[in-house]
Structure 1
Amino acid sequence: MGEKRENSAWIRRFHPAPESGVRLLCLPHAGGSAPFYFPMSKALSPAVDVLCLQYPGRQDRRLDPAIDNIPDYADAVVAELKPWLDVPTAFFGHSMGAVLAYEVALRLERDGLPAPIALFASGRRAPSRYREENVHRRDDDGIVKEMQLLSGTDSRILGDEEILRMVLPAIRSDYTAIETYRSEAGAAVSAPITVFTGDSDPRTSLEEAEAWRVHTTAEFDIRVFSGGHFFLANHAAEIIDIISKKISGAGRQQS
């Protein structure tokens, strides 16, 4: 299915675990980057071989053209992921990453390629739930303000504002992609979906999170945590434990 590269422009493998027999692909939020998932990769190794996506337009890919729509994002991820589908693979996506994970899963199924054994959608309303949002049309200060709103006081999420402003073009492209995204009516994946959501997330209500149920033909589970959009920062151990148990169970069924 293609040549597997240890670290391609798109895929980072911080803690290789080739003998684990199961993989987890982690897809970052809008404006996010692969190192966001370094702690999760470390925690799951060596039981799970974790791959983390590095989107164009940030960090060492700062000079690569950013992508401003979900279909092109998903097509690019599918192309990069093909060589890594030799073992059962699950997807974890936060915010924009959740929608992107869903669209990648749909494409894999349609192309007759190995589909994910599980999809973990975190911090994002269901693909079929829309809100009129225009962050991508704001000036730079407006985008920074939005990111501050979502991250709260957690400097680990926001990072250095000076660095943040350097990657604003990529962040704007990400917001354009997710805010203009529209899902295909009636589409659903065959992978079981587990949704993680914060009880005070300003961008996702409980009803909007529950609506992920119609996007799978398999089992559905939802876990609600205290916190806002980046609730996972304070519940990492519990979330990682849930992922580990569900992946190991799904992996045994596949083998």
Structure 2
Amino acid sequence: MTGYLDRLPDPDDRFRLFCFHHAGAGASTFAGWARALGPQLAVYPVQLPGREGRVAEPAFTDFGRLVDGVTTALTPWLTGRYALYGHSMGAALAAALARRQVTRGHPPVALLVAAYPDPRTGPPLSVAGLDDREVIELLIRVGGMSEVLRRYPDWAGAAVRLLRADLAALHSQGPTPDRPLPIPIRAYAGSADPLVRATQIAGWAGHTASSFRLRTLPGGHLFHRESGAALHADIVAELGALGAARSSTPGSR
């Protein structure tokens, strides 16, 4: 196993959901999702290098190499009925992976994106020009770091370095391809998100030649913590409907 997943997917999974975390975070942000979304969905949080159980590995600072690593690790499991969910930075990564899978002829049933604007507008956050103290205050403001970490400079410094690496990767992306994806996109926004407005997230509609839906939930940039139950219920309902539609299509698996 490469470390991107904490366990091998079960060949008998009926529907897999691969989840990609936000910048500066790790796969633990999806703790509890398997229980909340099951048994309809087999949930697989994706762990990127440089954090949590992979802290000894360098984080990617190049988006292309990041997508390459994820693609290589997950390709054997991107079969049958599966979907991709990405929160903030994870949305950009999930979309890039979806495009590759469409090209390969193994597209996901749907792409789910949260707290990230229309990719044509670029990443919603930059810390260029900010010193570490300013980055820490920013992380606390958006909910990505506890105020307690102010007392632990080593931990806070590690969190800042990881965020800088993730944002460097995001800002290294090339132009977004013009061709819309032939798969449904479901987008989610936080009603009080200080970084991304719902109107910016609505721009994802231009990236699909299929159906699009945007839902706004209570909370800030990390609204999945505050509105987890509502988000989980919506994901189950949407993927249940989309998965049923795909399974009834001749030739689908």
Q: What whole-Å deviation, never above 9, does each CA across 1:87-145 have from its counterpart, x for those lacking one?
A: 311011100001110011111112x1411111110011110123685315533222222
Name the SS for the 1:172 alignment partner: helix
One-letter amino acid of the structure 1 residue matched with residue 238 of structure 2: K
1:216 shift after superposition: 0.8
Tell me how far apart the structure 2 counterparts of residues 13 and 32 of structure 1 sit (CA, whole Å): 19
Kept in 2, the 8 Å contact 1:135–1:146? The answer is no
1:252 to 237, 244, 252: 244
* 2:227 is the alignment partner of 1:228: no
Q: 1:224 to 1:142 in 2, by over 3 A?
A: same
Tell me how far apart the structure 2 counterparts of residues 145 and 109 of structure 1 sit (CA, whole Å): 40
One-letter amino acid of the structure 2 residue matched with residue 98 of structure 1: A
Q: 1:228 to 1:214 in 2, by over 3 A?
A: same
* 2:149 is the alignment partner of 1:140: no
Q: 1:26-175 alignment to 2 at 5 Å?
A: 26-110=19-103, 112-130=104-122, 133-151=125-143, 155=146, 160=149, 162=152, 163-175=155-167
Q: 1:196-235 alignment to 2 at 5 Å?
A: 196-235=188-227
Give percent identity, aligned residues only: 28
Q: What whole-Å deviation, never above 9, does each CA across 1:150-193 have from its counterpart, x for those lacking one?
A: 118x84xx784533433432221101122343432413222211
1:72 shift after superposition: 1.7
Equivalent position of 2:250 in the other structure: none
* 2:4 is the alignment partner of 1:10: yes
Tell me how far apart the structure 2 counterparts of residues 167 and 58 of structure 1 sit (CA, whole Å): 9
Tell me how far apart the structure 2 counterparts of residues 247 and 166 of structure 1 sit (CA, whole Å): 36
TM-score w.r.t. structure 1 length?
A: 0.86
Kept in 1, the 8 Å contact 2:125–2:195? The answer is no
Equivalent position of 1:190 in the other structure: 182
- Tell me which moved more, 206-215 or 127-136: 127-136
Unmatched 5+ stretches in structure 1 = none
* 2:241 is the alignment partner of 1:241: no
1:217 shift after superposition: 0.9
Kept in 2, the 8 Å contact 1:17–1:45? The answer is no
Tell me how far apart the structure 1 counterparts of residues 110 and 236 of structure 2 sit (CA, whole Å): 11
1:32 shift after superposition: 1.1
Unmatched 5+ stretches in structure 2 = 248-253
Name the SS for the 1:208 alignment partner: helix
Q: What whole-Å deviation, never above 9, does each CA across 1:188-214 have from its counterpart, x for those lacking one?
A: 222211110012212112221110000
Tell me how far apart the structure 2 counterparts of residues 35 and 219 of structure 1 sit (CA, whole Å): 30
User: Considering only aligned residues, what root-mean-square deviation do their CA atoms show, in Å?
Assistant: 2.3
TM-score w.r.t. structure 2 length?
A: 0.87
Number of matched residues?
A: 244
Tell me how far apart the structure 2 counterparts of residues 87 and 248 of structure 1 sit (CA, whole Å): 14
Name the SS for the 1:11 alignment partner: coil
1:35 shift after superposition: 1.1
Q: 1:46 to 1:160 in 2, by over 3 A?
A: farther
Q: What whole-Å deviation, never above 9, does each CA across 1:3-26 have from its counterpart, x for those lacking one?
A: xx4xx3111249x76544000000
Q: 1:86 to 1:62 in 2, by over 3 A?
A: same
